[in-house]
Structure 1
Amino acid sequence: MKVPHLRIGTTSYILADDILPNVRYLAPMVDDIELVLFESEEMSNLPSKEVVEELAVLARQHDLTYTVHFPLDIQPGSADPALRSACVASILSIIALTRNLKPFGYVLHLTPELYGTVPSPEVERWHDCLGKTLQSLFEQTDVSPRMFCIETLSYPFACVQDLVERYDLSVTLDIGHVWLMGYDSRKVLDSLLERTRICHLHGVKDKTDHLGLDQGDAEAIEYFLKRLVLQGQRDRIERVLTLEVFSEAEFFASLSLLQESHAMMR
């Protein structure tokens, strides 16, 4: 389906397989694929240069874009300068690896030290360290700050919104996380949608997220889609809407709901 100013996509883990087979499978069906990357001492799924070249070919063949999700285990707010440096090094290496893909945007977590509404036992220190990490990052990359999309996580986005504005970053508005935490979604949309470059959408039910949209709150989903479509009509800025699910059944159920949505038909 085609919606003006909106690229509809999903994750690189719909099949229980590596990134490349997923992209080959999904490319005819979506406009964008979120490359969900991880890197640790035990395991890594970072693509080789040869795989990146093939991903670039698939993008050209299918008018496909990619959003690149940086690893989740980085610690940009750590009090340890060595861990912050490792975070920046990881981000820079992934930027270099995926540069030929010309990503639509990069999804970055300003990772909390605690899950929940309070992001750290020492919020002020954590916040200051996040600022130091971002400062170091932008001293070492020529990528536009607006390509870095800070994701809404468990804590209120107000905890980091001043950093987003100070460095002129974009937002990854994960509306599922907003619903999961019980925040006022209308206020969040009022505050963040204009600066949002990437949206993550998934069903939330019984305190579980990343479900198919068929399992989510239909009214809440429809309201979100209406606001997203109207924002595109208003400012004519292209955005990505990622169905952030991780199985074929959840992907097809979510895609079907989008196709039936009154908001998407406007």
Structure 2
Amino acid sequence: MICKQQFPFRFGTSSYIIPADIIPNVEFLKDKVDDIELVLFESDEFSNLPSPGDMQKLAELAEASALTYSVHLPLDVYLGHPDRSERERSVGKCLRIIELTRDLPKSAYVMHFEAGPGVDINAFSADEKRLFTEALHDSISMLLKGTAVPASEFCAENLNYPFELVWPVVEAFGLSVTLDVGHLEFYGFPTAEYLERYLPYARVLHMHGTLEGKDHNSLSFMKPEALDLVMKALTDAPVQSRVFTLEIFSQEDFDSSCRVMERFVLSD
């Protein structure tokens, strides 16, 4: 099942489908999808950041195959951290990725709003929630001052806490949304309500199923009624540039997810 150019949105998946580096993955996927989520890491222990030569290769592959890239900013950035020096470090890390990917054709930058490693935002007091959103406001202000990328290209992703907590920050800066439907289902948020409220602002959707208490599995493990809700919403309000990302990490999950999507392909 080839899902490239089959839907009223850009169909995509992650840059880790086969057990190889980013370039082989893009070469494997380029004729199967419209968009590839580049999952980039940079730490003292490990980095998968492409070299300048690799970046040129990614740009060439995109041009030859009508690809775009959604760039997932590093997971170890904490834009809502109470310590401003940590926020500055996090913003600096994001800006380095933005500069690195400057010449790629991009659909979006995906970002997480978190307060620190292992911090449970659901446990915050009212005062802690206020400080968290003030910290996010400060970080986003720094980020946008540090780049010419339009605010709308940055997409805040819903995580394990109610998205309405950070919505005022998204709205204030004119950011977009990454609507992670897999997270909605996994954490028990009302998918239909989130679609109604946030889909108009969503440049990206993340799609994945839950298996044995873990998310980021094949779409075959997402409740069919949830997938039907999403597909109806996307069909009723088509946006060709919107990205539908299978946020999964194996060829088996990719192949089975594509088979699930087959029933939504319109016949001629």
TM-score, normalization by structure 1: 0.93
Between stretches 178-187 and 106-115, larger displacement belongs to: 106-115
Match of 1:147 in 2: 153
Match of 1:124 in 2: 130
- Taking only aligned residues, the RMSD between alpha carbons, in angstroms, comes to 1.6
CA 1:253/1:74 → structure 2, altered by over 3 Å: closer, same or farther?
A: same
Give the whole-Å Cα distance in 2 for the aligned partners of 1:136 and 1:63: 33
Shift in Å, 1:116: 5.7
Give the whole-Å Cα distance in 2 for the aligned partners of 1:69 and 1:93: 13
Match of 1:180 in 2: 186
Q: Which amino acid aligns with 1:188?
A: Y
Is the partner of 1:71 in helix, strand or coil?
Answer: coil
Is the partner of 1:200 in helix, strand or coil?
Answer: strand
Q: Which amino acid aligns with 2:227?
A: I
Percent sequence identity over matched residues?
39
Shift in Å, 1:79: 1.3
Between stretches 132-141 and 243-252, larger displacement belongs to: 132-141
CA 1:199/1:185 → structure 2, altered by over 3 Å: closer, same or farther?
A: same
Match of 1:86 in 2: 89
* Contact 2:218–2:248 (8 Å) recurs in 1: yes
| Residues 1:199 and 2:200 aligned together | no
* Contact 1:112–1:120 (8 Å) recurs in 2: no
Give the whole-Å Cα distance in 2 for the aligned partners of 1:173 and 1:147: 14
Give the whole-Å Cα distance in 2 for the aligned partners of 1:120 and 1:71: 24
| Residues 1:49 and 2:55 aligned together | no
| Residues 1:136 and 2:139 aligned together | no
Among candidates 105, 108, 111, match of residue 108 of structure 1: 111
Shift in Å, 1:228: 1.7
Superimposed CA distance per residue, residues 73-94 of structure 1 (whole angstroms, 9 cap, x where no aligned partner): 1111111111111111111111
Among candidates 222, 226, 236, match of residue 220 of structure 1: 226
Is the partner of 2:50 in helix, strand or coil?
Answer: coil
Give the whole-Å Cα distance in 1 for the aligned partners of 2:250 and 2:235: 26
Q: How many residues align?
A: 261
* Contact 1:105–1:149 (8 Å) recurs in 2: yes
* Contact 1:37–1:71 (8 Å) recurs in 2: yes
Match of 2:266 in 1: 265
Q: Which runs of 5+ in 2 are unaligned?
A: none
Is the partner of 1:76 in helix, strand or coil?
Answer: coil
Give the whole-Å Cα distance in 2 for the aligned partners of 1:119 and 1:19: 37
Give the whole-Å Cα distance in 2 for the aligned partners of 1:107 and 1:252: 24
Shift in Å, 1:215: 1.8
Match of 2:72 in 1: 69
* Contact 2:115–2:121 (8 Å) recurs in 1: no
Q: Which runs of 5+ in 1 are unaligned?
A: none
Shift in Å, 1:119: 6.3
* Contact 1:13–1:246 (8 Å) recurs in 2: yes
